[in-house]
Every structure is written in structure tokens, then in C-alpha cells.
Amino acid sequence: MSENYSFKISKNKIDINADSNFGIIHAFTSLEQMLWDQNKNLNISEISDQPFIKYRGIHIDSARHFLPMKVIKRQVEIMRINKFNVLHWHITDDESFPYVSKIYPNLTNPWTNPNNPTEKYVYTMAEIEDLIEFSANLGIRVIPEFDTPGHTASWSGVSKDFIAKCNAQR
């Protein structure tokens, strides 16, 4: 989907043209950056912009280092300001499976604070859905990564037959 936009600031109005909602979001982001100093007026100007690279993303790893949802949302807001469009979210790994599965509830293996093992954290389906909607409204796609076929030690709590036991011989 196109993220191109242009706008023209004249004496009494601002005309914005965009091919999609994402272009409009980027146009408003540019205007917001131009208005950073509230004591200054916008100069009469014209801007036409488009992304040089289609996939502009970052990667976070909350399987090894749990991040509260408010921290992830803050990161998404920073991504919007910088016109990034993909959040690659490494949500599970050997260390934890901090996702509450409706189909396999025993799959949940909370992230445990190494400094305080009584602190355990998970992401609920409602929190994940909220993050996806929040991000989409800012023009950012969330790609959750459930790391398979490797890095599945955290899945072993489902049942004794849930993970294949492979004996590596050298």
C-alpha cells in the first residue's frame, strides 16, 4: 500500500493529498514536526514525500526481556514519529512463552524475573489485540514471532508428547 503524500501550506489553509490512510498519517506527522515550536508559524511551503524503503521496522525481544505493554506502545509511538511501519515482535523463545493461548493453556510459560523469581509476566490475547489495533491506527503492522522449529524449550510444559525428542549424534 502506498504511503506517499504531499501537502501545500498556503496563507490560510493546508491541502493534503495522499494515496492511503498511511500517507495521511505521515503527512500529519510531518506537520506535527514542523509545528514543534509553538511560537512559530508555518511557512508557506510545499512538501512531497514517499518512503525510500517499503519495510521500515524494528525488532523487539520480550521473550528474553519482558517489556510491559506501555513500553511497547511507547516504542510504537516513537516508530510513528520516525515513519517506521513494521514492529517485529519476538514474543516467544526458549526462555519463555509469555502468551496466554486459548487453545493450549498449558503452553503458557511466563517470563520470570531472574532477580525475583516470584515475578512472572504474560501477555493476554486482549493486550495483544489492543496493541495490534493501536499500532494499525498509527500505520504500523505488528508481526509476532513464535520461533519454531527451534527455540521451543519453553513449550515443553504442554504435555510429554507435545515436542519431539531428538537425539543429536555426532
CA distance 28 to 83: 11
Question: At 64, which amino acid appears?
Answer: R
CA distance 70 to 83: 20
pLDDT on residue 4: 93
pLDDT on residue 121: 94
pLDDT band of residue 163 (cuts 50, 70, 90) is confident
What is the mean pLDDT of the segment spanning 109-118? 91
| pLDDT tens, residue by residue, 118-141 | 999 999 999 999 999 999 999 999
pLDDT on residue 169: 62
* Short-list 85, 6, 28, CA closest to 53: 85
| pLDDT tens, residue by residue, 53-99 | 888 999 999 988 999 999 999 999 999 999 999 999 999 888 888 98
- Residue 122 Cα distances to 27, 91, 112, 140, angstroms: 36, 10, 9, 23
pLDDT band of residue 149 (cuts 50, 70, 90) is low
Answer whether 57's CB lies under 8 Å from 88's CB. Answer: yes
Q: Is 44 or 130 the better-scoring residue by pLDDT?
A: 130
pLDDT on residue 155: 75
- Residue 11 Cα distances to 84, 137, 165, angstroms: 31, 30, 71
What is the mean pLDDT of the segment spanning 4-19? 91
CA distance 26 to 32: 10
First to last CA, the chain: 49
pLDDT on residue 92: 87
Q: What is the dihedral of CA 10, 81, 35, 133, to 10 degrees?
A: 80
Provide the whole-model pTM.
0.82
